[in-house]
Amino acid sequence: MTIANFGMIVPLQMGMLMLAGYKLTRENGMTEMLRCNEASGAIITMQEGRRILEKITEHDFGHSLGDWHNFLINDKKHSEHYMRSSTWIGVERAVKAELRNPDRARLEALADQI
């Protein structure tokens, strides 16, 4: 799927962006993935991202963005798709920024409770 601010992302990348709290938006004929500003919206998006990742990989690391990131980078079957060269820079930047988010642990804990 082509996303204006990330390029042609693959499903694994979309799942990770959603797990990082990004949601698909469509305005003025443009599709973008934007970071949810509210915790409730981020949690719903994180849950959908987790479902996508579980379906593709047949693994489950909960809502732990760090665990999913490490798994996908090191997994022989999925790393090539996750680190797809044409879109990797933007995806990696978004994931790493979210990993540094001081509120990330709280969001993951809330998502795990629901």
Count how many Cα atoms sit within 13 Å of the Cα of residue 34 in the half-sphere of its side chain.
10
Q: Per residue in 96-106, pLDDT tens?
A: 999 999 999 99
Q: For 49-86, what is each residue's pLDDT tens digit?
A: 999 999 999 999 999 999 999 999 999 999 999 999 89
Residue 24: the pLDDT is 92
Rounded to the nearest 10 degrees, the angle between the axes of helix 88-99 and helix 65-74 is 140
Using 50, 70 and 90 to split pLDDT, how confident is the model at 45?
very high
Q: What is the mean pLDDT of residues 88-110?
A: 96
CA distances to 18, 83, 84, 100 from 73, in Å: 17, 7, 11, 18
Which pLDDT score is estimated for 114? 81
Give the global pTM.
Answer: 0.95
Of 36, 102, 27, the C-alpha closest to 49 is 36
Going by pLDDT thresholds of 50, 70 and 90, the confidence category of residue 1 is confident
Pairing of strands 22-27, 30-35: antiparallel
Given CA atoms 87, 14, 93, 38 in this order, what sign does their dihedral have?
positive
pLDDT tens profile 3-15: 989 999 999 999 9
Q: Within 10 A of 107 (CB to CB), how many other CB atoms are there?
A: 20
- 8 A C-beta contact, residue 36 and residue 45: yes
Q: What is the pLDDT of residue 112?
A: 92
